[in-house]
Amino acid sequence: MIDANRTDLSTDQRCIAALRTLSMDAVQQARSGHPGAPMGMAPVAYCLWQDVLRYDPADPAWPDRDRFVLSAGHASALLYSLLHLAGVRAVDDRGKPLDRPAVSLDDLKRFRQLGSVTPGHPEFRLTAGVETTTGPLGQGLGVSVGMAMASRWLAAHFNRPGFELFSHGVYALCGDGCMMEGLSSEAASLAGHLKLSNLCWIYDSNRITIEGSTDLAFSESVPERFSGLGWRVFRTSDANDLEQVRAALRSAATAADKPTLIVAESRIGFGAPNKQGTASAHGEPLGEEEVRLAKRAYGWPEDSRFLVPEEVTARFSQGIGRRGRGLSEAWARRLQGYAAAHPDLAERLGVLLARGLPPGWDRDIPVFPADAKGVASREASGKVLNAVAKNVPWLVGGSADLAPSTKTLIAGGGDFQAGSPSGRNLRFGIREHAMAAALNGLSHSGLRPYGSTFLNFLDYCRPSVRLAALMELPTVYVFTHDSISVGEDGPTHQPVEQLAGMRATPGLLVLRPADANETAEAWRVIMPLRRRPAVLVLSRQALPTVDRTRYAPASGLAKGAYVLAEAEGGKPEVLILATGSEVAPSLAAHELLRKEGVRSRVVSMPSWELFEEQDDAYKKAVLPPEVTARVSVEAGSPMGWDRYVGPSGRCIAMRSFGASAPAKEVEAKFGFTAEGIAAAARSAARGKSA
C-alpha cells in the first residue's frame, strides 16, 4: 500500500493520484510549467486512457489506434505522466516499436530540460505517443478535425466487407484558452457540418486563465455554441466523478451522427488551496509547501518524489495495455487476411502508410509548349495537379472557398461530405485557419493533403504552416494571386511581405515558378517529400511560357536556381536574379541589353531553400563571386536578397504596399518592366549607384 494512513483509496484513485503527483513533481523540479490543468484533468484523462481509448502502448504507431490530442499543450506534464504509467514504447523513424519506454521516470525528472523528450509543450516525432505538436491554443482542435476526416476517408477507400481496417476515433483535450481562440469555432463548425461522429472534444471548464477568472473576458455559453454548430453536448458537473466521466465517454464512443463535446467542470488543483485560499497556480510551479499539502489531500506520502507504486503500473497494464494489445494484434491478423483477399488495395495502403508514391506517379505531367501569351501558373498548376491526382489516389485537398480561382479541384474526385467521405475535394469553406490545421491532421494520417487560398491570406494560415514545418509534415500549400499584378484589387490583396516571412520559416520549402513548365517541375519536387511542407506560390495573371529550345530547361528548378539565359561567351558582366512572374520581364531586359552589347545572365531562382542545399561548386557556377554587378527582381519585400546581390547590388522590390490600378500600370509604377530592369542592370554593370 502507498500510505498506511489512507487505506480508503481505490486503485483508480491511486492511479489518478499518481498522474497528479508525477505532474506536480515534474513541474516543481523544473521550476517551470503548468501544474493546474494536469491536476484538474487527471481523472478524465485516466478514464479515457484506461477504459475507452483503443490504443496499444506496445505499438503506439498502430494505424487504426484512437488518437489522443492534447490541445491544451501547456498540460504536457499530464501527457508525459500518462505515457509513462501506460508503458508506451518508443518507436523508430518508421514507427516500429523499440525496446525502451517513450517516457521513462528519468525523462519525467528532466521535464523542460535541454535535450529531453519531455519539452515544455508536446512535440511530434520527438516523443512517441505525442500525436501532434501542440502549444499554440486551438491548434490541436483544428488538427483533430483533420485526423477525424482522415479516418473517415481511409475507411471509405479501404474497408471491405469482413475487413474493417479503419474505424478509429479522435479525442482532444482542450481548455478555456482553446475555446476562446477563433480557430476552435472554425474547426468546430467544419466538424459539425461534416457530422464527424468519430470526434470528441473534452473541454476542461475550470474558469481560469493566466490573467485570472474567465469572468474577465469570457461569458458565452459554450454548450449552446456547440449545440448550434451541430454537436452533441454532455456535461459532467464534477471532473472527479468517475461515473459521470465514464458515462459521457461511453456516449461519445457510440455517437452516430454528430461530433461530441464533453464539458468537464473542474477546479484547478483539486482543492489544494494556495496562500490566498484560491485555486492553485495555473501557469507556474506550486512551490514545495503546496506540493506537500496537495499530496496530503490526495492521500500520498508528502515527502515522496516521482513515486510510482507497482499497483498503479499493473492497473494500466491490465487495462489499456491488455485491451490495446488485443486490438492491435487482431488488426494485424485482419490486415493479413485483407492482403490475401484484396492484394491490390493492401499494396496501395502499404505505400500510403509509408508515405511513398505509386510507380509512374508523374507519367502524365504535361509539357507546355512555348507561348508568348502563356498561361497563369495557377492554371498550369491545376492541370499538373489533376495529372498527378490520376496516379496518386490519396492526393486530396481543397481551398478556403476559392477552388475555381486557385484551380485546385480534382476533376471527378467527388466532394468529401458527411454522406460521401470518399471524396477527394475537401470543402473547407471560408475558414483558412481551420483548413490549414486540418491539413496537418490529414497529413499525420498518411494522406497527401493540399490546401489553397490567396497568398495574402497566408496570415490566416501561418500558425499551422509554422507547425507543419516544426513537425516535418509534407503538407502542401497552394497560394495564388501572388503579387502586385492582381492589380485593381489593390494593396489589401497584394502580398508584398509574405515571401520574406515564409523564407524565414525553418524547414519550409517555398517555390515560386516562372512559367507553366517550372510549375510542372515544382510538383515533381513536392510530391516525393516525406518530411517537409511545401508552399507553391502562383500567379493569377498569364505568364509567358519560356521557349526551352532557346533557354535552359525547366528541370533546373530542382536545384532552386539555374542559369536560364546566358551571357554571350558565358562571361556575364551583370547577373539578373528573378523569381515567378518577374522572370519574363527579366528575360526581355536581357534581350534589350544583348542588343546594346551588355552581357547579362538571367538566373531563375524559384526556391532559395533548394539553392542553399546545393554544393558550393554549383552555387558559384550559377552566381560567380567575381561578378558583383547584380540585380534582383521580385515583386515582394527586398528582405534577404542582399545575400545574393551583395553590397553593391540592386533590388527591384516592393518597399511599400501596392496600389489599385490595372496590373500593367502597377508594374510600371514600381519598376517591374523590361526597361526598368534593363536600366538597373546597365547601371550595375557600369558600377553606378542606383
**Any idea which residues carry the catalytic annotation?**
432
Measured distance CA(171)–CA(203) in Å, rounded = 11
Alpha-carbon distance of 180 to 82, in angstroms, equals 26
Angstrom distance (rounded) from CA 112 to CA 577 = 44
Helix axes 432-444, 139-158, angle to 10 degrees: 50
What φ, ψ does residue 48 adopt, rounded to 5°? -65, -50
Q: Can you say whether the dihedral through the CA atoms of 21, 26, 30, 36 is positive or negative?
A: negative
Distance from C-alpha of 439 to C-alpha of 449, rounded to nearest angstrom: 6
Phi, psi (rounded to 5 degrees) for 675: -65, -40
Phi first, then psi, for residue 524 (nearest 5°) are -65, -35
Give the three-class secondary structure for 44: helix
Length of the chain: 690
The three-class DSSP label of residue 591 is helix
| DSSP state at residue 31 | T
**Which residues, at least 6 apart from 258, have a Cβ–Cβ distance to it below 8 Å?**
192, 195, 197, 230, 231, 232
Going by C-beta distance under 8 Å and a sequence separation of 6 or more, which residues neighbour residue 640? 500, 503, 504, 608
Please name the residue that has the C-alpha cell 501527457. Answer: 79
In degrees and rounded to multiples of 5, residue 236 shows phi and psi of -115, 120
Query: Which residue has cell 506520502?
Result: 301
Between CA 253 and CA 244 the distance in angstroms is 14
Radius of gyration of the chain (CA): 28
Other CB atoms within a 10 A radius of the CB of residue 214 amount to: 18
Q: Rounded distance, CA 202 to CA 234, Å? A: 10
Taking Cα atoms as reference points, which of 292, 294, 287 lies closest to residue 302? 292
Give residue 59's region: left, alpha or beta (phi > 0; psi -120 to 50). Answer: beta
CA triple 137-140-141, angle to 5 deg: 95
Output the DSSP codes for 505-568.
STT-EEE--SSHHHHHHHHHHHTT-SS--EEEE--SSEEEE--TTTS--GGGGGGS-EEEEPPG
Residue 129, Ramachandran bin (φ over 0: left; ψ between -120 and 50: alpha; else beta):
left
The separation between CA 542 and the C-alpha centre of its own chain, rounded to angstroms, equals: 31
Say if residues 567 and 600 touch (Cβ distance below 8 Å).
Answer: yes
The helix/strand/coil state of 639 is coil
Q: What are phi and psi of 131, to 5 degrees?
A: -80, -25
Helix (H) or strand (E) segment spanning residue 79: helix 76-86
- Strands, sheet with 232-236, edge to edge from the N-terminal-most edge strand: 67-70, 170-175, 199-205, 260-265, 232-236
Please give, one letter per residue, the 3-state secondary structure of 478-491: EEECCCHHHHHHCH
